[in-house]
Amino acid sequence: MSVSTTTPASDTAIHELTPAQKKKESRRVILSSYLGSSIEFYDFLLYASASALVFPTVFFSDLDPLAGTIASYGTFAAGYLARPLGGAIFGHFGDKLGRKKMLVLSMFIMGIASTLIGLVPSAEMIGSWGAVILVMLRMFQGIAVGGEWGGAALMALEHSEKGRRGFAASFTNAGAPTGAALGTFVLGTFAAVLPQEEFLSWGWRVPFLLSFVLLVIGMIVRSKITESPIFLAALEKEKNEPVKAKKKLPIVEVLRRPKALILTMLAGASGFALQVLLSTFSVSYATEFGAERSSVLYAFAFASVASIFFVIYFAHISDRFGRRPVMLVGLALFVAFLQPFFAMMRSNNWA
């Protein structure tokens, strides 16, 4: 592990904390990870709903409806393509410079990118350049959330006690449905109260502009946490080690064992596939069968709230029975649920 040679005094002081103080700091870090993840996924998944309901009309109005929807989903996909890059970049520098700095930077990038999305001129004003700018900002979102998710989970895990690490890290995962619920609820509210023309003209922009307010809140919360004790211990160890041959980069060390990395990525991809299915395709799919746009968004928000508690509960179960059994059961249930899921989307029944 390669680390920098400087760290703030406030972070170094964590070694001198009593067990009770360390427990309190752990709770603060877990709360920070949850809030930070919620804010970032509010931004990231708000785009998902907008790509289904707004962007085909606003940025791809020169295409037929189907082609416009496909093009809109293409810009949405750009964020997911950029996420691995963000994870690699922020993970690498997190090992060298510290987790806290990278989490603050990822939140800043996400907040600014999301705010700017709310300011992108429509196709009627600048033509295809609007879509180009949209893709660029979406890629910045992807890079930021790639760094946020892994870094926040790692911070919560490294501050927690052995035997509770799954539970601690789960609050970062719980931030995703929290952010999704908040984003879809806000967008759904504007879609419900505004006429269609006004919503497509300016109403959809307000939830994105609110990202700046969330950015300020998140930066304040995140600035108050301490650095990872595991990172600080590695920093201290490296200071006391004699000068040795040049060490390999963190990313090179990870890629030396590609099998576990690839299998974990593929297993995680299936879970994210459900997230994408719910937040994008299912919204437009349900509306095509007659469901009201705002009702579908509220239903998705309700489902996201419910999933918060299941994320935390099953993480707690994984601390007792292991990660692998919980993952396998979850994947099996996901596959079994797909067929009835599409039947429910066609039912035109909110419940």
Of 347, 239, 231, 241, nearest to 295 (Cα)? Answer: 347
Residue 3 lies in a domain: no
Q: pLDDT grade, residue 115 (50/70/90)?
A: very high
Residue 303 lies in a domain: no
Average pLDDT (4-23) is 54
- CA dist list (Å): 158 to 152, 185, 227, 249: 10, 33, 10, 21
Of 299, 322, 295, 34, nearest to 178 (Cα)? Answer: 34
Residue 314 lies in a domain: no
Residue 268 lies in a domain: no
Average pLDDT (136-160) is 82
Q: Which domain holds residue 202?
A: 9-256
pLDDT value at 2 more than 70: no
Q: What is the CATH number of the domain that holds 205?
A: 1.20.1250.20
pLDDT value at 8 more than 50: no
Average pLDDT (68-72) is 80
Of 201, 182, 191, nearest to 296 (Cα)? Answer: 191
Q: pLDDT grade, residue 251 (50/70/90)?
A: low
Q: pLDDT grade, residue 248 (50/70/90)?
A: low
Burial of 227 (0-12, 13-18, 19+ CB in 10 A): buried
Contact (Cβ atoms closer than 8 angstroms) between residue 37 and residue 130: no
pLDDT at 15: 52
Residue 237 lies in a domain: yes
Outline where DSSP puts E strands in the chain.
Answer: none
Distance between CA atoms of 58 and 197, rounded to whole angstroms?
11
pLDDT at 206: 92
Residue 326 lies in a domain: no
Could you report the per-residue pLDDT of 182-221, keeping only the tens digit for each? Answer: 888 888 888 888 888 888 889 899 999 999 998 898 888 8
Residue 313 lies in a domain: no
Structural domain total, the chain = 1
Residue 343 lies in a domain: no
